[in-house]
Copies of this chain bind each other. A is one copy, B any other.
Amino acid sequence: MASDAKTGDQVRTQARGLWDTPTVPALAAVPAALHAHATVLRTRRRQTLALALDGGETAFIVRAGVLTLQLTLPDSSRQIVALLFPGDVFRSNFVPPHAEATLASAGAGEVWRMRLAALDKLAASDPAVTRYLDQALASQLARQALHVATLGQFNCEQRVATLLIELALRTGVSSPGGVAFELPFNRKDIADYLGLNPDTLSRIMSRLKAAGVIGHSERNRAVVRDFRALAARSPAARSLLEISGGDRIEPALGRSV
């Protein structure tokens, strides 16, 4: 079955796909026109971005790093509603009223900010911008749908596996021990994203470590030792591979999921 050769290929393919090229197809196509009209923000870890720019609606385009969209409803704890990766577009009118919404940078990153009106105007005049916005939105909505399914149907372990896969695909780099990546969030953040509690999350991570799926690593970093085993634990693995990893990686893992 030439399994040795295949394995070698997969590793190479993964390393390339995961690190050297833009992981999100849309990112490559961000129209230059946007840059000209946007303010470039360099964000630090945990920095929050004001949603309203002196009263007006605002649009954000993620260029590097990861943003979190947090929502706190009255008498309820915080939910991290979505993770925004490079290429993603966020508009301040995407958040519900009467909710405390926060856009925060998880790690260091770069964000382009502009007035919503300016973006609209740009979109109206430049078809490339329109196409880009459409595509970015479709990708985000698809991911949001997966996230909803994750929260609604998955158990603890499946949720954690799903997040690890998503982060590995987005920000992972192939290294001797497996795919390594930053965890730009602390336990509480991850728990709030996955709708579970930090203690439970910690237990799951310990279990995954014990099973050899992920490795021990420093604070704020993680290493996936056995990507297939991880993928086997998330019903969303195939979908995430296609969305985040592109076609390069998907065939390599198609069989194992």
Contact = CB atoms under 8 A, between A and B. Distances in A.
Interface stretch (A9-17, A28-36, A70-78, A216-224): A70-78
Nearest to A233: B75
A149 interface: yes
Label chain A's interface by main secondary structure: helix
A81 interface: yes
B148 A79 contact: yes
Interface string A218-257: 0000000000000000011011011100000000000001
Contact of A94 (B101, B141, B147, B238): B141
Interface stretch (A46-54, A60-68, A106-114, A150-158): A150-158
A207 B208 CA distance: 39
A239 B98 contact: yes
A61 to B, nearest CB: 16
19 contacts: A71-B146, A71-B149, A73-B239, A74-B235, A81-B145, A82-B145, A82-B148, A91-B138, A93-B138, A95-B145, A96-B142, A96-B143, A96-B236, A96-B243, A99-B236, A144-B148, A148-B151, A152-B192, A152-B195
